[in-house]
């Protein structure tokens, strides 16, 4: 059950029950059972109703829908500024987070200047955590992971909404980071935790990164990827296996990237890619032998 008290002032009907039968908040594509989502258009409502795991919809007061046609299994709650108040409700859940004591395998080596949260961290066998690394609660490192000096693992990314006065409103990040075995994260890199409690940012096995790399919230990075220095993978993008990202490359958010692609230095990936493409600048080529 999720309390609606944090957004009581935004409810269009103040007689609404102030608990919602939902386990977690999320977008319509998020995993989890009994999700609470938001809708700012009829299309968003239809998309939400097509998902069997959506149980509650925060519906923006501006949207005109035929409520009698909505299944009785889905509760619709009309609110002012549904998107903003969805994230207000989300942020209120930070106080509900609970973590067990951290578990660190005795074979792993952690520099004396590194910070590892005493709660919510799991570190496997033969890991190496170098100087001035920070590992926050909600992070799992499998075996043989190397985190080079100055990295921050499990930080909040930048996700900004706008409040009623037009001021920036930051979204809390309540999810996790999961780094699979034999990954190496280069110096001064950042791997952000995902936004929602039931989700995780993932870095696949044998992936290697250079320095100053940012893997943002909710990214799903497959196996054996190679990220050179300065690469930025934006939020909620899914990437397959065996890709190369050259120095300074940027991959936009919410994309689906296949496997065995070659993204040259300084390039920007702004659209979905299937397998075996080459990106130079913003141009995409099938025949990698051209370069």
What residues are labeled active site?
A: 217
The answer to whether 139 touches 177, Cβ cutoff 8 Å, is yes
Q: DSSP secondary-structure letter at 139?
A: E
Token pair listed for 271? 């659209």
What is the rounded (10 degree) CA torsion for 30, 33, 34, 36?
A: -20
Distance of alpha carbon 106 from alpha carbon 104, whole angstroms: 6
The answer to whether 133 touches 154, Cβ cutoff 8 Å, is no
What three-state secondary structure class fits 203?
strand
Distance of alpha carbon 99 from alpha carbon 138, whole angstroms: 8
Work out the number of other CB atoms within 10 angstroms of the CB of residue 73.
Answer: 10
Work out the number of other CB atoms within 10 angstroms of the CB of residue 236.
Answer: 20
């Amino acid at each position: 059950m999720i309390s609606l008290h944090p957004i009581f002032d935004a409810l269009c009907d103040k007689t609404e029950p102030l608990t919602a039968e939902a386990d977690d908040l999320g977008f319509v594509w998020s995993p989890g059972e009994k999700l609470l989502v938001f809708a700012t258009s009829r299309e968003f409502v239809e998309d939400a109703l097509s998902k069997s795991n959506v149980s509650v919809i925060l519906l923006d007061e501006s949207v005109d829908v035929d409520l009698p046609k909505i299944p009785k299994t889905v509760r619709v709650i009309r609110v002012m500024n549904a998107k903003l108040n969805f994230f207000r409700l989300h942020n209120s859940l930070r106080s509900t987070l609970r973590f067990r004591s951290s578990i660190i395998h005795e074979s792993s080596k952690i520099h004396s200047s590194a910070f590892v949260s005493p709660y919510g961290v799991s570190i496997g066998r033969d890991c190496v955590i170098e100087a001035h690394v920070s590992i926050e609660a909600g992070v799992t490192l499998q075996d043989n992971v190397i985190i080079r000096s100055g990295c921050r693992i499990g930080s909040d990314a930048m996700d900004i909404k706008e409040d009623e006065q037009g001021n920036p409103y930051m979204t809390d990040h309540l999810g996790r980071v999961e780094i699979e075995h034999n990954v190496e994260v280069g110096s001064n890199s950042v791997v952000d935790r995902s936004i929602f409690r039931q989700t995780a940012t993932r870095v696949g096995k044998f992936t290697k990164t250079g320095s100053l790399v940012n893997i943002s919230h909710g990214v799903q990075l497959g196996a054996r990827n190679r990220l050179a220095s300065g690469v930025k993978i934006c939020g909620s993008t899914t990437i397959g296996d065996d890709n190369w990202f050259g120095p300074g490359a940027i991959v936009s958010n919410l994309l689906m990237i296949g496997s065995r692609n070659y993204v040259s230095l300084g390039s920007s990936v702004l659209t979905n890619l299937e397998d075996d493409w080459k990106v130079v600048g913003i141009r995409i080529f099938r025949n990698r032998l051209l370069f």
